[in-house]
Structures are given as structure tokens and as C-alpha cells.
Amino acid sequence: MEVVTIGKRTFAYVCERFTEFAKRIESLCSIHTQKVENWLDSQEVCLLLGFSK
């Protein structure tokens, strides 16, 4: 196994950039994720899909 060391400033910079990246991803996901207001139970789903017992 190989050990790699980096400087403190480099580590802080990478952490900062990763945090910014994560915030952007969360923002994009929240914009493009539909909010479900009314949940369906299994019977309603079966009726909508035309399934019967």
C-alpha cells in the first residue's frame, strides 16, 4: 500500500471545493426532483395499472 501526503493548504482547498460541488449537486437534485404531494396505496396503484387479483 502506498501512502501519499499532501499539504494542509491543499487539503483545505480540496475540502472547500468538494463542499461547493456537493452543494451544487444538492441544488440541481432539488430543482429536478418532483415533489410527491399525494401518495398512492397499493390498491390505487393496481387500479391505475389495470391489475386485478
Query: What three-state secondary structure class fits 3?
Result: coil
Query: What three-state secondary structure class fits 33?
Result: coil
Backbone angles phi, psi at 4, to 5 degrees: -120, 130
Q: Are 47 and 41 in contact (CB under 8 A)?
A: no
Range of the domain at 29: 8-49
What is the number of domains present in the chain? Answer: 1
Query: What three-state secondary structure class fits 4?
Result: coil
Low-confidence ranges of the chain (pLDDT < 50): none
In-domain check, residue 3: no
In-domain check, residue 22: yes
In-domain check, residue 13: yes
**pLDDT on residue 8:** 97
**pLDDT on residue 14:** 98
**pLDDT on residue 47:** 93
